[in-house]
Amino acid sequence: MRRKHQRNRKKKKLLSIILMMFIFIFAGYYVLTQVLPNKEHVEPNWVAADRPIFVKGEMLEYSALGSEENLKIPLPVLQDVIDPYIRHEAETESIILTTSEKLVLLTADKTEAMINNEITELRFAPEESDGVMYLPISVLKELYGVAVHEDVDSGAVMLMEAGERIPMGKVVTGKPDRTIAMRVESSIHAPIILDVPDGTELRIWSSQDEWYYVQLDNGYTGYIQKTKVVLSEDRIVESPESTTTRAERSWKGKPVNLIWEAVYQRKPDPDSIGKLPGVNVVSPTWFSMVDGEGNVRSQADLEYVKWAHEQGMEVWGLLSNSFEPDLTSEAMSSFESRINVINQMIQYADLFQLDGINIDFENVYTKDGDNITQFMRELKPLAEAEELIVSIDVTPKSNSEMWSVFLDREALGKVADYLIVMAYDEHWASSPEAGSVASLPWVERSLERIIDEDNVPPEKLILGIPLYTRVWSEKVLDGETKVSSKALSMDSVEEIIRTKKLTPTYLEAEQQNYVEYTEDDILKKIWIEDEVSLKSRVELAKSLQLGGIASWNRSFANDNAWKVLQTITP
Task: Count structural domains, the chain.
Answer: 1
362 assigned to active site = yes
**Is 44 inside any structural domain?**
no
- Mean pLDDT in residue range 401-408: 98
Tens of pLDDT, residues 489-513 = 999 999 999 999 999 999 999 999 9
pLDDT the model gives residue 47: 84
Q: Which three-class secondary structure state does DSSP give residue 449?
A: helix
Pairing assessment for the beta strands 389-394 and 296-298 based on DSSP bridges: unpaired
Please state, in angstroms and rounded to a whole number, the distance separating the CA atoms of residues 205 and 223. Answer: 10
**Is 207 inside any structural domain?**
yes
pLDDT tier, 31 (very low <50, low <70, confident <90, very high otherwise): very low
Tens of pLDDT, residues 116-128 = 999 999 999 999 9
**Is 193 inside any structural domain?**
yes
Tens of pLDDT, residues 266-299 = 999 999 999 999 999 999 999 999 999 999 999 9
- Mean pLDDT in residue range 253-266: 97
**Is 271 inside any structural domain?**
no
**Is 228 inside any structural domain?**
yes
Q: What CATH number does the domain containing 201 carry? A: 2.30.30.40
Please state, in angstroms and rounded to a whole number, the distance separating the CA atoms of residues 410 and 358. Answer: 18
pLDDT tier, 432 (very low <50, low <70, confident <90, very high otherwise): very high
**Is 158 inside any structural domain?**
no
Give the DSSP letter string of 172-197.
--SSTT-EEEEESSSSTTSPEEEEEE
Q: How far is CA 453 from CA 309, 408, 411, 427, 445, in A?
A: 38, 11, 12, 23, 11
- Mean pLDDT in residue range 429-455: 97
**Is 182 inside any structural domain?**
yes
**Is 212 inside any structural domain?**
yes
Answer yes or no: is pLDDT of 13 > 90.
no
Catalytic residue among 362, 384, 426, 510: 362
186 lies in which domain range? 165-236
Q: How far is CA 506 from CA 22, 356, 487, in A?
A: 95, 39, 21
- Answer for the pair 223, 185: CB distance below 8 angstroms, yes or no: yes
Please, where are the H alpha helices in 454-530?
490-499
pLDDT the model gives residue 45: 86
Answer yes or no: is pLDDT of 410 > 80.
yes
